[in-house]
Amino acid sequence: MISEKVINAILKSSSVENKDLVIKMFLDYISQGYNYNDDKCNHILEMLVDKPTVKTEKDVNLSYIENNLKLLLYNSEDYYIKNIEIERVDNIDCVVVVKFKYLKKIDEDRADITYSDIRSNISFIDYPQVLK
């Protein structure tokens, strides 16, 4: 990761025209990937003009996730799921990255099988309830 000090120095020395050009190129890049209804680009534009739209871990409704385990794992009813934590919020892909441990219920009595670590992405565009 590039140092935040370097990023801040470049942002201070960049012209408005260069910043505008890079933002337009970035939005074009995002549009070339999966961007249904331009939701990702719209969120980026929204963040540029309205700081509260930038989502952080404190904006995530963890209890909603804990009560809707199907958002984490396909056929979640077949698994034991524990240690659910918010790892980060990705405001570009518009997802909440959640890490947790899981164990298939069929394997619960096997001593050679333990909980596995995994990450899951939950779209806060598709599931706005994931945010407070």
| pLDDT cut 90: percent of the chain above it | 88
Q: How far is CA 12 from the centre of its chain?
A: 28
Q: What are phi and psi of 9, to 5 degrees?
A: -65, -40
- State both tokens at 75: 């056929």
Measured CA to CA in angstroms, residue 33 lies from 10, 29, 41, 127 at distances of 27, 7, 11, 20
- Under the banding of pLDDT at 50, 70 and 90, the label for residue 93 is very high
Q: What is the pLDDT of residues 25-69, one digit of tens each?
A: 999 999 998 878 899 999 999 999 999 999 999 999 999 999 999
For residue 59, which amino acid is it?
D
- Collapsing DSSP to helix, strand or coil, 13 comes out as helix
Helix axes 16-32, 39-49, angle to 10 degrees: 160
Contact (Cβ atoms closer than 8 angstroms) between residue 83 and residue 130 = no
- Residue 111: is its pLDDT beyond 90? no
- Under the banding of pLDDT at 50, 70 and 90, the label for residue 71 is very high
Return the pLDDT at 40.
92
Return the pLDDT at 70.
97
Return the pLDDT at 115.
93
